Amino acid sequence: MPQSPISFDINNNKSIITALRAGDENVFDAVYRYYFRRLCAFCSQYVYEQEEIEEIVQETMMWLWENRSSLLPELTLKTLLFTIVKNKALNRLSHFEIKRRVHQEIIEKYEGEFDNPDFYLGNELFRLYEEALRQLPKECREAYEMNRNQHLTHKEIAEKLKVSPQTVNYRIGQALKLLRIALKDYLPLFLLCFGPDFMKKFY
């Protein structure tokens, strides 16, 4: 693996691009550390959740490393990174706006069908959910409930069940898949009656 030069100038764009193209991990690490917080601060103008912000920046830096061989020496790295982060943030906003509009359309579609102030249908929906939960394979239901109800991480569940985190991930994934299939016709009503927090049980 090529080694980075002893003196490293973050502003020497051409030498950085050349080192990245050569696969210099030390230079990439320096670039990552130099730009990460700056890119996060820039991204926060568009996205407000810190987890989302860091995910966008990490995706950008991963793109840089994976596509290092196609970088051009005359390319301005700073401009490239900030442009990618901006585009990713705007794409994420567009995605959230689409989801928000869909949820609003669902609410408008069904709100006129509920005249009962006690939301009698909500109780029936919850019964359907519990019935679908009972139909899950035992291992899947156990892992799912520990994650969604007890809020344990996959690692914590794995330790309790004495299985690998990958096994836990598979079981929860299967539970989610089966629940969405069983309740696919009722998901819009779940959103209306129980709100977006309850919908996290299905995703």
Domain covering 13-98 in this structure, CATH number:
1.10.1740.10
Give mean pLDDT in consecutive 10-residue pieces for the chain, a chain of 203 residues: 52 89 92 90 82 90 90 84 88 66 54 42 70 91 91 91 91 90 75 68 78
Q: What pLDDT was estimated at residue 31?
A: 92
Q: What pLDDT was estimated at residue 57?
A: 92
Q: Which fold has domain 118-202?
A: Arc Repressor Mutant, subunit A (1.10.10)
Q: What pLDDT was estimated at residue 4?
A: 42
Taking the domains of the chain in order of start, what are their residue ranges? 13-98, 118-202
H or E stretch at 46: none
Per-position b or e across 9-33, b if 16+ CB within 10 A of its CB: eeeebebbbebbeeebeebbebbbe
Q: What pLDDT was estimated at residue 190?
A: 67
Q: What pLDDT was estimated at residue 14?
A: 87
Give the pTM.
Answer: 0.47
What's the alpha-carbon Rg for the chain, to the nearest Å? 24
* Distance, CA of 188 to CA of 110 (rounded, Å): 8
